[in-house]
Structure formats: structure tokens, C-alpha cells
């Protein structure tokens, strides 16, 4: 199956994979959670636009691929809500000095486009807006885990598998995936549900995560597993009910 990173791999890279150098999948565990990272207006703006034109008004813009990923993530979010998978939203923290000082202040001021549509920089887009019962965790670093209660919340829920979506692939998503792996979660990244402003960085970071820290999978494969997980949950519940009646 063709992958987004194939075009960026060298001849030796491809030979290494063909010779058995690809990391075996870790696989899903018993209890998944969906973690949505930095899907906010400060990078997406009011709609898909050409990246080069968009950054003139929205310095942190990610390009039209961001909105494509939002639409695919919305599919996953709807499914997770339907079958009872915990959802956690991650966004930036207001009033704290930005972690990336080298940005030279990019994104600190409210861009004219966001003023026009009446949205804050770290406000989560309506398409993925949290509903009652879904926590919103604010972070002040690239990783969703650093300085936040995320790991405690996931442990409380008995989560062993984190499905990570959002932006940027090479930045906050990758940092969160590495930290999640460090905390011994099984990390899953649906390929169509992450995005970046740089095409090469997006592709190669997906490849690198797949080689070291996460199972980077097509969205449909993730959705298929989730439906199977829900069926297994229902079968287990039915079996326990029958056993209790028989007792």
C-alpha cells in the first residue's frame, strides 16, 4: 500500500524497509481514547485557503490540508462519541509566554481574519467543538502531556491506547506521540487526521513516528477496529449478563 512518505524516502531507506527494517505494529489495546490536539482557528482560519496567501494574514496558517484533515477527524469524532470512546481536546494556553520564542511573536496578536470571524487564536473549530463531558486541556508546550493532567486522566479511565489527531504533524502531534509512548501508551495516528504547513515535514514525521513511536494507520482501518472494539464490548456485556442470570 502506498504511503504519504514514499516519495520522500531514499533508495537506501526503501531497501532497509524491504529487508525487514520496518517496525512491527504495536497494535491496539483494550481501552482507546481519542486525543484531539490543537485544532484551533489560529492555524486554520475561517476556511481553506492557499497557504502562501493565507500566511499574509494568518502567520501560523497550515494551508487547505488542515481543513481536509478536520473533516476526516470529524468522521472519527462522531464514531467515537457514538460508541463511547473517551474524547479529550487539547489546545493552547492563553496568557503564558509561547514555548517557541524563535517564532519572533508569530501568532501572538489576534490576526485580522480571526477578528473578522470573531474567533480566538486557541479556540477549537466548530467542527470539532467539545460537548458536555469532554475535557478541554490547555497546554503551554508542544506536548499534550507536559505540565497537564492528561496522563492522570487517561490512567483514571483505564486507557491503554491513544488515538492522536491534530496539528502540526512535525510539532505538537509528534511531541505528544513521543511522550505518550514514553508513558507506555499504545499510540495510534490516523494518517488523514493530522496536518502540517510543510509537506515534507508532514510526510517524514509520519514515517519516523511509524518507525519508532506509533502505528500510523489509514483512517478507515482505525474506524474498522473501533467498530470491532464496540462489538466486543457488547458481547462481553451480554455474556456477563447471561452468566449473572444463570448464577
Residue with cell 531497501: 15
| Structural domains present in the chain | 27-246 (3.40.50.850)
State residue 101's pLDDT score. Answer: 53
Average pLDDT, the chain: 92
Q: Establish whether 80 is a catalytic residue.
A: no
Sequence-distant (≥ 6) Cβ neighbours of residue 78 within 8 angstroms:
none
Residue with cell 490547555: 138
Q: What is the reported pTM? A: 0.93
Percent of the chain whose predicted confidence (pLDDT) is above 90: 84
| Residue 90, C-alpha cell as written in the block | 487539547
Q: What is the mean pLDDT of residues 196-222?
A: 97
Indicate the pLDDT class of residue 107, thresholds 50, 70 and 90. very low
Enclosing H/E stretch for 216: strand 215-217
Strands 194-195 and 186-190, by their bridges, are unpaired
The secondary structure of 12-35 as a DSSP string is HHHHHIIIIISPPP----SSEEEE
For 131-181, how does the pLDDT look when each residue is reduced to its tens digit (9 = 90+)?
999 999 999 999 999 999 999 999 999 999 999 999 999 999 999 999 999
For 57-73, how does the pLDDT look when each residue is reduced to its tens digit (9 = 90+)?
999 999 999 999 999 99
Residues in the chain: 247
Q: What share of the chain is helix, strand, coil (3-state, %, to 5)?
A: 50, 15, 35
**Given 165, 172, 193, 201, which residue is catalytic?**
172
Q: Please provide the distance, in angstroms rounded to a whole number, between the alpha carbons at the two ends of the chain.
A: 50
| Residue 11, C-alpha cell as written in the block | 533508495
Indicate the pLDDT class of residue 109, thresholds 50, 70 and 90. low
Amino acid at each position: 500500500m502506498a504511503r504519504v512518505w514514499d516519495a520522500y524516502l531514499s533508495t537506501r531507506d526503501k531497501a532497509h524497509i524491504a529487508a525487514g527494517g520496518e517496525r512491527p505494529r504495536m497494535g491496539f489495546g483494550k481501552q482507546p481514547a481519542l486525543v484531539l490536539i490543537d485544532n484551533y482557528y489560529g492555524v486554520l482560519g475561517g476556511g481553506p485557503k492557499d497557504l502562501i496567501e493565507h500566511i499574509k494574514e494568518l502567520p501560523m496558517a497550515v494551508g487547505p490540508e488542515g481543513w481536509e484533515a478536520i473533516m476526516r477527524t470529524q468522521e472519527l469524532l462522531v464514531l467515537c462519541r457514538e460508541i463511547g470512546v473517551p474524547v479529550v481536546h487539547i489546545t493552547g494556553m492563553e496568557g503564558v509566554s509561547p514555548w517557541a520564542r524563535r517564532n519572533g511573536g508569530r501568532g501572538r496578536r489576534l490576526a485580522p481574519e480571526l477578528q473578522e470571524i470573531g474567533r480566538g487564536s486557541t479556540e477549537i473549530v466548530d467542527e470539532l467543538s467539545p460537548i458536555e463531558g469532554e475535557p478541554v486541556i490547555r497546554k503551554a508546550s508542544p506536548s499534550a502531556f507536559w505540565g497537564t493532567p492528561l496522563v492522570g486522566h487517561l490512567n483514571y479511565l483505564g486507557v491503554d491506547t491513544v488515538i492522536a489527531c491534530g496539528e502540526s504533524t512535525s510539532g505538537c502531534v509528534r511531541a505528544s506521540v513521543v511522550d505518550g509512548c514514553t508513558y507506555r501508551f499504545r499510540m495510534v495516528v490516523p494518517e488523514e487526521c493530522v496536518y502540517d504547513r510543510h509537506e515534507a515535514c508532514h510526510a517524514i514525521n509520519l514515517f519516523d513516528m511509524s518507525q519508532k513511536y506509533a502505528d500510523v494507520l489509514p483512517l478507515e482501518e482505525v474506524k474498522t477496529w473501533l467498530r470491532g472494539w464496540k462489538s466486543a464490548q457488547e458481547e462481553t456485556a451480554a455474556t456477563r449478563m447471561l452468566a449473572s442470570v444463570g448464577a
